Amino acid sequence: MNLTEAGKHVQELTALIRQHNHSYYVLSTPTISDYEFDQLLEELINLEKEFPELASPDSPSHRVGGEITKDFKPVKHKFPMLSLNNTYSVEEVKEWEERIHKLIGKNAEYVCELKYDGVAIGLTYRNGILMQAVTRGDGVQGDEVTANVRTIHSVPLRLNGAGFPDEFEIRGEIILPRKSFENLNKIKVDEGDEPFANPRNAASGSLKLQDSKEVAKRRLDCYLYSLPGNIPGSETHYESLMTAKSWGFNISGYIARCKTIGDIFEFIDNCNTARHEFPFDIDGIVIKVNSLVQQQELGNTSKSPRWAIAYKFKAERVATKLLSIDYQVGRTGAVTPVANLTPVLLAGTVVKRATLHNADIIANLDVRIGDIVFVEKGGEIIPKIVSVDLDHRNPSFIRVEFVNKCPECGTSLTRKEGEIAWYCPNEVNCPPQIKGKLEHFISRKAMNIDSLGEGKIEMLFDLNLVHSVADLYDLTYDQLLGLEKVFAQTDEKKERKISFREKTVANILNGIESSKSVGFDRVLFSLGIRYVGETVAKRLTVHFNSIDNLLIAGYKDLIEAEEVGEKIAQSILDFFRNPKNIEIIHRLRSKGIQFEMKEAQQVLKSDKLKGMTFVITGTFDQFSRDGIKKVIEENGGKNAGSISSKTTFVLAGENMGPEKRKKAESLGVPIISIDNLLQMLI
């Protein structure tokens, strides 16, 4: 087959595959079998390999993935991705509609849509071809995940028909259908990894996988529900969605135009009744003013559109019997009580366990073994006991007393003044604390050793190969090859076996080696210092630049760092006073782990704000506070949380508090606007 013949056949295959893909994933009316579809796709892929010049940016071959993304580039949104005002109250929805009537009259029509429990995404098309996919991020800018989104079959790579703008953006939600979620978790359990807690977390994690081929395997889906720009010929939100549907976008069929508040609540009630039968998770209904002109007239606040509101379903509540209480120990040593229950159906799943949070909750609920308790799902994810049915309590039931010794190592528990949790102080030898620290260390936001799932960490610990994070860097090929462990069946997991074969071992060692290039801020976060999260770790690395400077820092030095208060400062001091922790740091440094900021990390965009300290207050229409803080830091300035004599400027948005204004004026600190700040940077 010559190039001309191949080109013609590629065009035919592309059109045919695109048609079948749309029929299957968007219209839900497949016209050929999965096998026949896969054969067509394989034929196209082979032709593009033989004739690479024929592969186009919108080829269906992108659906199988293969592109590797090491870093997800930040992209500023053309239109801010605002969040919706949420309510659980029927009365607040009525009040919202009354405000709409006062502002634009009583001729408003509404559109009701499902509120998907997924990850917000913005898709940009140019000349009908998908060019960019960006996550919501902080609403001002997000991360580009185009290669991964191309693998989602319900996202069109090339639009159908005509009439679409040369360039436009459409927004929606990326979700993981329940069936895909169950399959994914089955694979994770079989491989010895911890399953995802819920489909939303799984969808979010999938979008940030570096290998798009792995994303393709997870079978994500996408529903579109918003076009922030003007679409020619559309006067209403509903018309714009139907136009987008004609171009090939996956617009949900669960959508209704409503004239009255009664119509709105009829739609809400119907969806609430049927939601567990949907193939995906929702947590409420979004109500929007339909007219695009009226939407513009109503406008936005600094955070949310005035023309839309989200009604969230109240958590379902069921009654069941409390059988016993277990006590789990986390990586920080915090002891959490977990209730074992008579199995009961709640929000579409069978619940056997629920959190009791802490000792104070147990005391306040006065919960007793044998009680009939009421269980809810917090945020549709984690079951929790919210109350006790005292009418059915047997007088012989004994009051539950929180344990006073660690259930894992027997060490006496401690609780600091002013804190809720009880802790096991034996952080060096308490098994779940050690495993928790290891799992935190390898996590994506820390050292990102993705070849070591939690099941493998548990296996290495149980086989006495790893006892601290530094031990990971002493592992050898010969130590790992051939290792096997059978994990016994539990209520949550089937019996499973993990085997370390050649490829598994190579991936683990390569992942460990690659982690040596991780920046100092993530290394500091990975150490698991209590209260030092991602943000605080970044602030500490900017302030101190190296672990050596941090090690010699005193209490006063620490609290001078941004976002470091008394509690965090004391926790850092306690961590570095422990000789075991210092030993681990020395071992990690000897293996090449980054314990100082590289010069490239310290380079600023400019020094125009050098020596200036800003306090940000009020709200801003076009910018998030985090975005403003980042701009200040990138140009040499510092951010502070409170106004003092050291403050150079107070950057004020709308609704600045009167007390802050009074304090700024009393100290003679100038109050500036966002426009003044931007002028400083010119």
The CA angle 103-108-111, to the nearest 5 degrees, is 125
3-class secondary-structure state, position 621: coil
Cα-Cα end-to-end distance for the chain? 59
* Contact status, residue 515 vs residue 446, Cβ threshold 8 Å: no
Residues assigned a catalytic role: 115
Phi, psi values for residue 648, rounded to 5°: -85, -45
Quick one: how many helices (H) and strands (E) in the chain?
A: 25, 22
Return all residues near 542 (Cβ < 8 A) that are at least 6 apart: 521, 562, 597, 633
3-class secondary-structure state, position 310: strand
The CA angle 368-405-341, to the nearest 5 degrees, is 30
* Contact status, residue 149 vs residue 155, Cβ threshold 8 Å: yes
* Contact status, residue 261 vs residue 268, Cβ threshold 8 Å: no
d(CA 631, CA 525): 23
Residue 256 pairs with which residues in a beta bridge?
A: 112
User: How far is the CA of 67 from the CAs of 58, 61, 144, 163, in angstroms?
Assistant: 14, 11, 14, 31
Q: Is the dihedral of CA 229, 231, 236, 242 positive or negative?
A: negative
User: How far is the CA of 651 from the CAs of 172, 660, 672, in angstroms?
Assistant: 33, 11, 5
d(CA 466, CA 457): 8
Return all residues near 320 (Cβ < 8 A) that are at least 6 apart: 341, 342, 343, 344, 351, 372, 373, 375
Which structure tokens are listed for 469? 């994070």
Phi, psi values for residue 167, rounded to 5°: -145, 135
* Residue ranges in 552-603 assigned as alpha helix (H): 555-559, 566-577, 579-590, 599-602
d(CA 255, CA 267): 9
Which residue type is seen at 320?
Answer: T
3-class secondary-structure state, position 105: coil
Q: Is the dihedral of CA 23, 27, 31, 35 positive or negative?
A: positive
* Contact status, residue 181 vs residue 118, Cβ threshold 8 Å: no
Phi, psi values for residue 325, rounded to 5°: -130, 125
